[in-house]
Amino acid sequence: MSLSNERKRFLEETCLGLRRDLIKLLFGIQTGHPGGSLSSTEIMTTLYFEKLRVDPKNPKDPNRDRFILGKGHAAPMLYMILAARGFFPQDDLVTLRQLDSHLQGHPCAKKTCGVELSTGPLGLGLPAGLGMAMAAKLDGHDYRTVVLMGDGELQEGIVWEAAMSASKFAADNLLVIVDNNGVQLDGTVSEIMPMGDIPAKWRSFGWNVIEIDGHCVEAIADAVDLAATVKGVPTVIVAKTVKGKGVSFMEGKSAWHGKPIGKEEYANAMKELGVTV
């Protein structure tokens, strides 16, 4: 176990706080994607508060770890975490998706400090991450590149182009985490385009596969550490998650992929997260 009880508690409390702030933020601006942000909260929090070697005071350090949000629609959670880590002021968050803001609807590397790659069109994060991993090898840097992807995103053909390339180029400094929440925009993944045995698909492309509960911060931390010990092949962590996690009426519902939050829904959601509004 790589986490002390104290760190585990800290991460869990951070996740709860982030969920509250997310609901408040998205209710306030009446736009943005709650579902995918909530399913990836523990994954991104554990990475940014525990595992990634990043420094907000030196955001362009050549040997920093790279995190890519392949599923760019989870941008609100990424922004909240980057702000919490000090990459930009937390007061900026309310400008999300508004004119003149540096916080675009989907991540823009040119505008937002700490965003490594502009994403949104699905499937592009992994091949770009592979490019970053290859650059690390050329330069003799030991940084890692971590790409967080959605399970719906796996339907993009380019993902498998990149998966075979990462194998060929032995990108053991590349880590993919699949936020396997089982729901995409139009419905459940099994209804829209069944992905079958996701771990088996990655294995057949030559990847090392680790399967975990994507809401357990300890499991995430352990898997990220374990992946670093595997040499010669890239690793994918398939993280079982729940879309909309933490807000019961959003859980598992494709409707909450990207829908504005009503007043009553806001109050109910906050109540579930332990806050009366």
Q: List contacts with other proteins (CB under 8 A).
A: 62, 66, 108-110, 116-121, 124, 126-136, 138-139, 145, 158, 161-162, 164-165, 169
Min separation Cβ 138 and other proteins, Å: 7
CA distance 242 to 67: 22
Q: Are strands 145-150 and 174-180 parallel, antiparallel or unpaired?
A: parallel
Q: Using DSSP, state whether 176 is helix, strand or coil.
A: strand
Alpha helices in the chain (DSSP H): 5-29, 34-39, 41-46, 75-84, 125-139, 157-168, 189-192, 198-204, 217-228, 263-272
Closer CB to other proteins, residue 38 or residue 124? 124
Q: Which is nearer to other proteins, 101 or 165 (CB)?
A: 165
Angle (nearest 5°) at CA 18 between 14 and 21: 140
Q: Is 251 helix (H, G, I), strand (E, B) or coil?
A: coil
Rounded least distance, CB 150 to other proteins, Å: 16
User: For residues 240 and 3, what is the distance between their CA atoms, to the nearest angstrom?
Assistant: 20
Nearer to other proteins, 109 or 216 (CB): 109
267, amino acid identity: A
CB of 169 to other proteins, least distance (A): 7
Contact 78, 12 (CB under 8 A): no
Q: How far is the CB of 10 from other proteins (least distance, A)?
A: 31
- Coil vs helix vs strand at 188: strand
85-to-3, 110, 117, 192 alpha-carbon distances in Å:
19, 19, 18, 37
Least separation in angstroms between CB 166 and other proteins: 10
Shortest CB 187 distance to other proteins, Å: 24
Closer to other proteins by Cβ: residue 26 or 163: 163
Please, which residue, 89 or 157, has the CB nearer to other proteins?
Answer: 157
- 110 or 263: CB nearest other proteins: 110
Of 153 and 265, nearer to other proteins (C-beta) is 153
CB of 25 to other proteins, least distance (A): 24
CB atoms within 10 A of CB 255: 13
